[in-house]
Amino acid sequence: MGTYAVTGSASGMGAASAARLRAAGHRVIGVDLRDADVVADLGTAEGRAHAVREVIRLAGGRLDGVAAVAGVGPQMRDAGVVASINYFGPVALLNGLRPALEAAGGGRAVVISSNSSTTVPMIDEPLVELMLAGDEQAAREHARAGQGGLPAELAANSPSISAYATSKFALSRWVRATAVVPEWARRGITLNAIAPGAVITPLMTGSTVKEEDLDPDAFPTPMPLGVFGHPEDIAFWVDQFLRPEARFTTGALLTVDGGTDAAMRPDSQPTVMPARRR
């Protein structure tokens, strides 16, 4: 049996992923703001460093896998915080834990992105560049400045929607670029991302909305299967990516959204690779 770290382990998709791994007999080191083996705020540099140190200590320097699930939604009032938690948090954590994955002889890492990165037409490209460049302070300031131009309805219900979608877009780009560098790929460490759609979690429903009150046919984006996802639907794929057998899959972005992305962008994949000019 293996040793795995799961962030966001106290609720939602993180809790479901941790439960699935434990049910298979693995040891799970949970990381969250509360009710976890490692209590840490991944929205701060100090919290990330603490999480990395404690996970490595508890794991004895060796990890078979990491699931970076923790994140916040577009309901957050501070878009700068969204940028820090959703992008800089998982990136710092995974970079910090990479040696422990290498020590296991080639561990597995999976990140939770979102189909919002491809279905929300509000990607802030300068913000993407700031994130990929690692400039957290500038990214936070830029994300906050971008909140001022939102329509009133969006500003009331999803004040950080652009920062949310952009952070997940940048995270997916980071996964694709990082998975193939020698420090990861040639050490046998796989790195992949899952892009969930509308999944019934506290992040989606808040404290007042119940699942039975939600109508998939009235949802703002298409729901071809006519159902919402549940945390266990995502935990299934987290488990698959973390298995030793997933040795030949890296740099992948798996959309798990009941068909939403396919319905909205049926011609977006595959894309044609331009021929090289001689």
- Cβ–Cβ under 8 Å, residues 277 and 246: no
Q: Which listed residue (4, 88, 164, 228) is catalytic?
A: 164
For residues 86 and 82, what is the distance between their CA atoms, to the nearest angstrom? 6
- Average pLDDT of span 249-260: 98
Give the other-Cβ count within 10 Å of 210's Cβ. Answer: 8
The CATH number that domain 3-256 falls under is 3.40.50.720
User: Is residue 208 scored above 60 in pLDDT?
Assistant: no
Q: What is the pLDDT of residues 21-71, one digit of tens each?
A: 999 999 999 999 999 999 999 999 999 999 999 999 999 999 999 999 999
DSSP letters spanning 81-118: HHHIIIIIHHHHHHHHHHHHHHHTTS-EEEEE--THHH
Which pTM was predicted?
Answer: 0.95
> Is 164 among the catalytic positions?
yes
- The pLDDT > 70 percentage for the chain reads 97
User: Is residue 223 scored above 80 in pLDDT?
Assistant: yes
- Average pLDDT of span 95-123: 97
- Cβ–Cβ under 8 Å, residues 94 and 191: yes
User: Is residue 206 scored above 70 in pLDDT?
Assistant: no
User: Is residue 204 scored above 80 in pLDDT?
Assistant: no
Under the phi-then-psi rule, with left for phi > 0, alpha for psi from -120 to 50, and beta for the rest, what region is 18?
A: alpha
For residues 200 and 66, what is the distance between their CA atoms, to the nearest angstrom? 23
Q: Which two tokens stand for residue 257?
A: 């959204």
271 vs 196, higher pLDDT: 196
- Average pLDDT of span 235-258: 98
Q: Which two tokens stand for residue 21?
A: 């791994």
pLDDT of residue 209: 61
Nearest CA among 11, 86, 13 for reference residue 239: 13
CA angle 47, 173, 34 (to 5 degrees): 25
Burial of 45 (0-12, 13-18, 19+ CB in 10 A): middle
Confidence of residue 205 (pLDDT cuts 50, 70, 90): low
